Structure formats: structure tokens, C-alpha cells
Chain A
């Protein structure tokens, strides 16, 4: 095996996860380097969410090892995992916001509760406003999640995931069930977060288009839109790797060009030519 040029952000080594004897992940191995983007495609129930939760240590693998920033988290106890998780951000599928807390409290939650990132209380409010400004929802501080639309809830979810400025951000189906316009807004935020802060980004999705946005476009800070990455003297955005999951197995790994050239019938279904 060749040494990766950058340090490894996340590594799976032959990870298998079983749910009451039903395999959810089978022998999954891959490595994501720091600063890299990674798009995981797969049908519903192919184990995409399980993969992300295993990366966070929310699910313990039955076999194999998981390393986050070079640290093996497979055997860690829950308390030790908290320190690792503080360096990770995750957007849950439906946002995963706490219904009983206001938007402000939701976004402040990781700042207040993560031991590693203890901050003075005055600073919290400022960081929360900054994070909400980032997703353009700074006027919703006092609202409850139930008062927001699905797309807004997900934007708050992004704000909460990135408020601690994690080095690795995981997005679980950020565009599922959203109209194309809202989906574009969400993807633009993900690309913005990646390009402005250089965070390692891992996104699970069933829409190939989301992956294309991530791999071939970059955030343009001048007018807040996504523009094609190549050309105009701009450096190419972070390398993007595509992976395809089929019933818990990793059936494809490679660049966008390799994905489009892939002849496998399952993989080809995701690629719109």
C-alpha cells in the first residue's frame, strides 16, 4: 500500500456491521485524506447512514477497525469518544435538531456541552450568530425547529455541525426530500463550508448531481454562487472521491471520470450521462 500524501482523516479497515445478524456493512475499506472530499452514493438501505454513524463511533463495528485522524476508535469507551467527536461535525438526515430547544440553543449545544471546546459564555452567542449567519438564518435565533421549513431545519443542522469548526464534516443525505432549489442552497452551503475553511467533507447522497457540485464546482465568495472550478486561474478544489455502496458492500471507489466509465450496471444507474 502506498502512503497517502496527506494525513489520513478517516480510515475504515474491513469494517463489518451487523444488525441482529443482518449485515449493514460488509468488509468496507477506504481512506479519506485530510482536505479531501468524498461522495458516497447508494440506494436506500445500502448502509450509507450506518457508515457515517460508524465513523462517529455511534455504531460499533462487529469486525474491522475505524481510525479517525490516525486514532483507532474501535475500542474506545463512550467518554473517550466524546473528545474525538468534538473534531467531527455531522448533519443528520432530517437535521436531528432538538425539538425542545430553540434554534440558538440547538446551535450552541456542541459549544456548551463538548468538554474539549469549553468557551466563555459571551463567546458562545457570538459563535452561534456567526454560524447562523453562515447559513443565512440569523433571524431565527428564538424560534423552535418545528416553526421552520424542512430546508431551513437542515441549514440549522449544518450550522450546528460546523459551529465548532470541525476538521471533518459528515453530511447524511443533505438533499433528501428537498425541492431542487432548496437542494442547491444546501449543496452550496456544503461547498462554501469546504472551500472557505478547507474542512474534509464526506457526503452521503443518492443524487449524482450533488456529487458533481462537490467535485467540479467551487464557492464564489463574490456573489455567493457555485462556479465551475476549473479555469480562471483558480486552483482546483479539493480532490473529490466517489464511492458507491450496494447492500453494505463498497462496489466502487474512484474519481468522477472513473465512475462515469464504470460498466457495472448498479453503479451506472447512479450516473446520469
Chain B
């Protein structure tokens, strides 16, 4: 029984060691700014198309589904309000983080994993650079900067998607829809909607890098790490969103 627990506990310990060192490195030189910008470009700009597409359709489909229930109560006018709150507080951050986890946690795990199995990580250490400083910290900084921004874009596009459905199918006027959406949002909603992606960024970047750096066993191992990284990152995003939501609900 104890032996069974040993492996996961060791993994958690290693993960937090990596996280601690990656975060400490943010305040320590040398800083590899070109790596940070390169990562921002791949993670941020690279994810833009899918984030916009999923954002739009999730808002649109929500408006569509809600309209049916709202008609029963004669409250179709509330569509904008509901879409805005759900997107900003929950769906925007979670969907964006899941997409970025699928795209970039896997990317990081496979990139760092291949480097690990071809001894590039060892070579890096042998040639005088700390792989965490050079590889993990830039990815962490880039994800923390870019994920909240992507979430804001997804939120907006999603509310716009809801508006397209509301305007075309539910006969809501633009003024009415945007007004009720705007009015519905409070500062705490926006705060929740921005704290979440910031926390998810740590999960996306660190889980991806962690599984990458612990890769063993050749090409097959890289594939395994990649899958594990996406699965674990996705699960943790859901767990975290629950706890953050729990905190904000009691506030």
C-alpha cells in the first residue's frame, strides 16, 4: 500500500520542486527574453484562430440552448446577461485553457521530451545553462502573460456569438443585448474571469514541462509524456476551476 503511494507522492514532490525553481528563476538572471517572446508567439498568436472559433461557437450555442428554456419563462431578454456571466466567469477561462493545454502542454511535453531523450537537456547542463531557466521559465512567463489575454478575446468573441444568435433568431436588438450583457457583469465576475486563466497558465506550462523533462524511453516515451501532459493538465484545470469558483461564490 505504501509502495503504491510512493510513486504519486514522489511525482507531486518533483512537480512542486520544478514549479518552485521555475518561479524563483523569474526573479533571477539570466533572462532569455528572446525565448519568452518566441513562446508568446507560439502560444498566444498561434492559439488565436482556434480560441476565436471555439469562443464564437460556444457563445452562439449557449444563446441557442438558453433561448429555449428562457422562452418558457418569457425571459428571452435575459440571454445577453446569462451568456456574458457564464462566459466571463466560467466557460471562457476553462475552454481557452483546455484548448491551450491541448495545443501547448502537449507541444511543450513533446519538445522537451525529445530534447531529453536525445541528451540535449544534459548537453545544455554540461554547457553551462540551467534547463529550467532556459526552457521552463520562459514558457511559464509566456503562458501567464498570454492566457489571460486569450481568455479576454474568447470572452468577447463568445458574447458576440451570442449576440449573432440573439439578433438573428431571437429578435433581440443590439442595444438591448449588449446593454444587458454589460450591466450583468460585476467587478467580481471580471476578477474571477482573469484570476482563473492566470492560475491555469501555471498548470498548462508546468505540467507540460514537467512531463517533458521526466521523459524516458525514446520516441515511445515522448508520445507517452505528451498524452499524460494533456490529460493531467485538463483534469487539473477542472479541479482548479471548481475551487476558485467555490471561493468566489462565498465572497
Closest to B125 in A: A58
Interface check A86, CB cutoff 8 A = yes
With known contacts A110-B128, A115-B128, A98–B123 Cβ distance under 8 A: yes
Q: Determine whether the beta carbon of B120 is less than 8 Å from that of A110.
A: no
CA distance A109 to B125 in the complex (A): 11
- Of A53, A99, A116, the contact of B120 (CB 8 Å cutoff): A99
A-B contacts counted at CB < 8 A amount to 52
CA distance A109 to B127 in the complex (A): 7
Q: Determine whether the beta carbon of A85 is less than 8 Å from that of B126.
A: yes
Q: Distance (Å) between the CB of B166 and the closest chain A CB?
A: 47
| Residues of chain B contacted by A116 (CB below 8 angstroms) | 128
- Of B122, B128, B129, B130, the contact of A96 (CB 8 Å cutoff): B122
Q: Determine whether the beta carbon of B123 is less than 8 Å from that of A85.
A: no
Q: Distance (Å) between the CB of A94 and the closest chain B CB?
A: 6
Tally chain B residues at the interface, Cβ within 8 Å.
14
Closest to B38 in A: A100
Interface check A113, CB cutoff 8 A = yes
| Residues of chain B contacted by A53 (CB below 8 angstroms) | 122
Q: Determine whether the beta carbon of A114 is less than 8 Å from that of B127.
A: yes
Tally chain A residues at the interface, Cβ within 8 Å.
24
Interface check A219, CB cutoff 8 A = no
Interface check A255, CB cutoff 8 A = no
- Of A78, A94, A97, the contact of B130 (CB 8 Å cutoff): A78
Q: Determine whether the beta carbon of B125 is less than 8 Å from that of A113.
A: no
With known contacts A96-B123, A98-B123, A82–B118 Cβ distance under 8 A: no
Q: Determine whether the beta carbon of A88 is less than 8 Å from that of B126.
A: yes
Interface check A92, CB cutoff 8 A = yes
- Of A98, A99, A113, the contact of B128 (CB 8 Å cutoff): A113
Interface check B14, CB cutoff 8 A = no
Interface check A140, CB cutoff 8 A = no
CA distance A116 to B120 in the complex (A): 21
- Of A90, A93, A98, the contact of B126 (CB 8 Å cutoff): A90
Interface check B119, CB cutoff 8 A = yes
Q: Which of B123-137 contact A (CB under 8 A)?
A: 123-130
Q: Distance (Å) between the CB of A29 and the closest chain B CB?
A: 23
Q: Which of B107-155 contact A (CB under 8 A)?
A: 114-115, 118-120, 122-130
Q: Distance (Å) between the CB of A20 and the closest chain B CB?
A: 10
- B residues lining the A interface (CB < 8 Å): 114-115, 118-120, 122-130
A-B contact pairs, 13 of them (CB 8 A): A56-B125, A85-B126, A86-B128, A93-B119, A94-B118, A96-B118, A96-B119, A98-B123, A99-B120, A113-B128, A113-B129, A114-B128, A115-B128
